Amino acid sequence: MRKTAIISLALAIVACACTKQSQAAYDKQETFIDSFVQTLLKTDESASVDYLDGAVRVTLSSSTSTESDPALEKGGTVSFYYGGYVLQAASLSNGNLFATNWQELAEASGWKTVDEEMFQTESVTIGGGELVKGLENGLVGVRKGDECFILFSGKYGWGKHARGTVPARSATAWHFLITDVSNN
């Protein structure tokens, strides 16, 4: 009985240490995100920022959306071009692009772009379980024509799981060009 109690205590201590390490990593990621957001705001003074339950969306002034374009709601469908980056510092690097369907981003990152079919718009339904929590939260409210960045720590991404070339517990930054929004 005593041996079981000691093992349980040891496992609890290890779990607590891992949780503290993960939280420290996520806190550092939030610092990177805040710095990147400030850089975007300095670059584009008319950009706007929304804090959305763990995600940060920076909508750039170059968007062509208007108030008459509907804002995406949960249950709505959004179509877009995107680029996903691992955020390892307070800035983005073309070398950290891990996924895209946006030809210009692929070419700027040195990707071979011989397969034109990979550059088709993507469509997803918000709340349909197709996206990680950070993207679900960050996309709500976008409008057709918006160009935006959505950023979040690994806590709102894939957490402790690695995905392809994205390491576990990684912060990610997503660059979007919204081509359509439907709230049917």
- In the chain, the DSSP E strands lie at 48-52, 55-59, 77-87, 97-100, 122-125, 147-152, 171-182
Name the percent of the chain lying above pLDDT 70.
88
- The domain segmentation of the chain, as residue ranges, is 25-182
**CB of 99 within 8 A of CB of 173?**
no
| 3-state secondary structure (DSSP) of residue 62 | coil
Task: Convert the pLDDT of each residue in 37-65 to its tens digit.
Answer: 999 999 998 899 999 999 999 999 766 77
For the cut 80, the answer to whether the pLDDT of residue 9 exceeds it is no
Specify the higher pLDDT residue, 69 or 174. Answer: 174
| 3-state secondary structure (DSSP) of residue 38 | helix
Task: Convert the pLDDT of each residue in 133-176 to its tens digit.
Answer: 999 999 999 999 999 999 999 999 988 888 888 888 899 999 99
CATH of region 25-182, choose from 3.30.1360.120, 3.30.930.10, 1.10.10.350, 3.10.50.40: 3.10.50.40
- In 53-157, the DSSP E strands lie at 55-59, 77-87, 97-100, 122-125, 147-152
